[in-house]
Amino acid sequence: MTGRVQGVGYRDWVVRTAQRTGLTGWVRNVRDGRVEILVSGEEEALNALVEGCRVGPPLARVDHVENYPADGEKAHKGFTKRFTA
């Protein structure tokens, strides 16, 4: 995600949203100001998260969301917030 997505509670919002829908993976800030998410789960829940990420929490301004399948990633238990990459 790009836009005003750091310092506005975006990662916490993603964690709560993903956990509520049973998704697994992680979210982290990237040094260039973006937020990066690796997520897996049911297709309907994934689509709902991607659509929700286009808006994000109230203080966020999302300019762009890019999503694509990640091949070869390890399975995750739960959904966590990671530190900056």
Residues designated catalytic: 11, 29
Distances (CA, A) of 79 to 3, 4, 7, 25: 23, 22, 20, 5
Question: Is 4:61 a contact under the CB 8 Å cutoff?
Answer: yes
For residue 75, give the DSSP letter. Answer: P
